[in-house]
Structure 1
């Protein structure tokens, strides 16, 4: 086997928060040992942001390297392949350069494989079908743990293979164990976890003592009244009623789902390390967007706040096996340019993302402006601030270094407000959205 260029293993989580911020945030420690051991010799971007706070638009954006305004996609009713040819996806640049491209789970939107005519334009292998976790198969032995969407867990280990992530991992492991082509490979590993309804084998819920979960003390200070988003993203009735047990169960469900995905990530990682490809494979891990875990009385996505805009973004390069944290803001639009740069390919001139390779080697860009777009408006992260401009022109300004949960709107009289509004307008325009200041 001869592979001169690096292989690429692209791993995606679904609805995953930027987990390192949450390790002990709620009292109970989040258990993700495989993410931890990967990060022990990888670069972790702790201020990485999606460009849309919902699955379909975010994945359309980071897989095409185009921003939501460039695509005109802001919700799950639109399909990127109705807007762009499949050959416009950045991964096709790898295929054109001689890579063997293999699918494996949810990287593009939805859990089913792409329609055949799109699949054949992007991948060299056959379509793969995995059982999604939206509904448990009938007849399984199961236990209800309560909380958001019931918190079901299967009790018999023989049923572990019914889960989407088990099947995705099995497929990836088989690929890593058997691939012996002359061409370098690009392989996708798209996990379901921790997307709702957070069904898992029961042992992953039993990893956590539900009574150990405690809301942050600062939540008692409340959050700003935000009538503009109340209709768009309604607060949860149980959370507004202060039902602490339901919140604890719900966060336990989310943590257990992330631990379940981490378990299967570890299986894939072990297979890679045991394979002939270990020293010649770039591994990149991302998620499509984050999630509210009870803050603002919400257990949902869709908003423009830090908790939903922030995502995991990890790069493991066998030539740079050292732990490194980058706090400068980066974008999911950087995914394609970064992968292509690693393997010696140039990005397209019309892409607004940039390669993160210089940051892997010590360069810094602390003042970069990274936007997130929704039907409701635009939000940016710049320096220590998150600035939001809603569709009706209202704004919010938060210092997310001192106020992670964005409880204190600094208001239009803050000395940075004008400069941040200007930065938001300029960034939106650079990403295809022309708005008034």
Structure 2
């Protein structure tokens, strides 16, 4: 008789930057549980969201499709009722499926049954930031009745996840556990951490991008005011992750359960635009991603960029289920098994609401284009874009020096542009026209084409090194 398929749990935070984790060098000891997952399981070192805003990122993670394909390319849109989600795929394979927490893919609270993405068991809210507060967690059950859970909000959601695992430990289950932390509390624009947690971290650490850009009086950065609460929330979430893993261990489920931890997007604290996300920068798009459990053990680090749109097919693949043809993400399980497996060195990022934009992020480069004349609220894509940014992430990881338009980098930008168009077409978009950025030079940015060259996906741009 074949062994039972592994249980699957996705722990999903809201608005968490990648560099808040110790696995990415954060010095504050905020995330020992995540760090252990990354160290002993599989760590996607350069994980990015396909869309840096709540609903599109969530729709992509439920369907394995880009937002322009599944239809949820901005907030305020609902996931199509006939959309096939992870709940449908796991449910068809005999799994009990459950959803706990923030949904943000419906048009009302409580979420109507037909807008719950096919999940069997339900305890959630469409916009949890509006139905709850830090110590007043209100969600809705399967009958649409409000349920108030005791304790700090992240604790309450982890408690519910533990109860779900305990109630369904005898059959294979798939659970999506969606926290609101470390998102801000909208009506007061603050980051309410548990008592004492904000004070513990206030003034102790600031990412280089926020430290540099917050000094500019032209932006409305809230980083210095909010960082303590933001980090305090992350610390408490990590403690909840530890309690969940301990509970699985106590029920003899830990070795039989795949646990994935990631976030919908990051936060740039109003340094790049007037919001917290919705930009092409790593502060918005780069997220933590680690997976532990069957198939992911052994301390594997994936250094190639992956997208969270790749997580749905990866989870299905790891559970021994087929990856549906309609999924546009790609299972990264082959990279777990073999670091030399074939994989593209780039991910596609779509940006909406603040602007209609597209980005290609490679291991080294960030190439971003924007459609200045597009209606970013109504148009999912544009026919014409203009180059807006080029960053060398190897030497400028916090994206403070925009190289777009520099003559020295023109050939590189052309190669990235062509690759971006390829990715857009593969994602189902029409091939757009991309106009170059205005030409400019810089005396310290000269590149001798007879000496220097750039390599992108095995293709060399520029001349080979001068022969001696």
Q: Could you say which TM-score interval applies, normalised by the shorter chain?
A: 0.7 to 0.9
State the aligned residue count: 395
Which moved further from structure 2: 128-137 or 103-112?
128-137
How far off is 1:318 after superposition?
3.6
**Shift in alpha-carbon separation, 1:199–1:166, aligned structure 2, 3 A:** same
Other-structure match for 1:371: 348
1:194 is aligned, of 171, 182, 187, to: 182
2:172 is aligned, of 184, 203, 218, to: 184
Other-structure match for 1:29: 28
| Structure with more relative contact order (C-alpha pairs < 8 Å, separation 6 or more) | 1
TM-score (norm 2): 0.76
> Which SS does the other structure have where 1:105 is aligned?
strand
TM-score (norm 1): 0.81
How far off is 1:207 after superposition?
2.2
Other-structure match for 2:394: 401
Are the counterparts in 2 of residues 284 and 314 from structure 1 also a CA contact under 8 Å?
A: yes
How far off is 1:391 after superposition?
0.9
- Distance in 2 between the 1:172 and 1:62 partners? 19
- Distance in 1 between the 2:63 and 2:174 partners? 16
Other-structure match for 1:96: 92
Which moved further from structure 2: 266-275 or 161-170?
161-170
How far off is 1:23 after superposition?
7.5
Other-structure match for 1:348: 324
- Distance in 2 between the 1:11 and 1:264 partners? 10
- Distance in 2 between the 1:378 and 1:287 partners? 20
**Shift in alpha-carbon separation, 1:216–1:382, aligned structure 2, 3 A:** closer
1:216 is aligned, of 170, 184, 208, to: 208
- Distance in 1 between the 2:135 and 2:40 partners? 43
Are the counterparts in 1 of residues 149 and 156 from structure 2 also a CA contact under 8 Å?
A: no
**Shift in alpha-carbon separation, 1:409–1:115, aligned structure 2, 3 A:** same
**Shift in alpha-carbon separation, 1:416–1:128, aligned structure 2, 3 A:** closer
Matched, 1:312 2:288: yes
What is the CA deviation profile of residues 238-290 of structure 1, one whole-angstrom value per residue up to 9, with x for unaligned ones? Answer: 9626999x643311121111112112122111111211211111111121111
- Distance in 2 between the 1:426 and 1:89 partners? 26
Matched, 1:71 2:70: yes
- Distance in 2 between the 1:286 and 1:217 partners? 22
- Distance in 2 between the 1:274 and 1:139 partners? 28
**Shift in alpha-carbon separation, 1:195–1:78, aligned structure 2, 3 A:** same
**Shift in alpha-carbon separation, 1:101–1:216, aligned structure 2, 3 A:** closer
- Distance in 2 between the 1:217 and 1:390 partners? 21
Unaligned 5+ segments in structure 2 are: 137-147, 186-190, 373-384, 435-468
Other-structure match for 2:12: 12
What is the CA deviation profile of residues 334-385 of structure 1, one whole-angstrom value per residue up to 9, with x for unaligned ones? Answer: 1111111111211122322111111111234564321111232101112310
Unaligned 5+ segments in structure 1 are: 141-158, 223-235
- Distance in 2 between the 1:131 and 1:162 partners? 19
What is the CA deviation profile of residues 188-219 of structure 1, one whole-angstrom value per residue up to 9, with x for unaligned ones? Answer: 211111111321212211322x3334563996
- Distance in 2 between the 1:42 and 1:3 partners? 22
Other-structure match for 2:162: 173
Are the counterparts in 2 of residues 15 and 194 from structure 1 also a CA contact under 8 Å?
A: yes
- Distance in 2 between the 1:138 and 1:44 partners? 30
Which moved further from structure 2: 368-377 or 127-136?
127-136
> Which SS does the other structure have where 1:101 is aligned?
strand
> Which SS does the other structure have where 1:311 is aligned?
coil
- Distance in 2 between the 1:131 and 1:57 partners? 14
How far off is 1:176 after superposition?
2.3
Are the counterparts in 2 of residues 42 and 322 from structure 1 also a CA contact under 8 Å?
A: yes
- Distance in 1 between the 2:77 and 2:121 partners? 26
1:384 is aligned, of 348, 364, 370, to: 364
Describe how 1:38-437 pairs up with structure 2 within 5 A: 38-81=37-80, 84-86=81-83, 88-106=84-102, 109=105, 114-119=111-116, 122-128=118-124, 132=128, 134=130, 161-181=150-170, 183-197=171-185, 198-208=191-201, 210-213=202-205, 216=208, 220=212, 240=217, 247-293=223-269, 295-296=271-272, 300-364=276-340, 365=342, 367-375=344-352, 376-392=356-372, 393-395=385-387, 396-412=389-405, 413=407, 414=409, 415-434=411-430, 435-437=432-434
Higher helix share: 1
**Shift in alpha-carbon separation, 1:137–1:399, aligned structure 2, 3 A:** closer
- Distance in 1 between the 2:133 and 2:47 partners? 36
**Shift in alpha-carbon separation, 1:418–1:106, aligned structure 2, 3 A:** same
- Distance in 1 between the 2:327 and 2:48 partners? 17
Are the counterparts in 2 of residues 44 and 315 from structure 1 also a CA contact under 8 Å?
A: yes
**Shift in alpha-carbon separation, 1:272–1:109, aligned structure 2, 3 A:** farther
- Distance in 1 between the 2:103 and 2:274 partners? 26
Are the counterparts in 2 of residues 43 and 323 from structure 1 also a CA contact under 8 Å?
A: yes
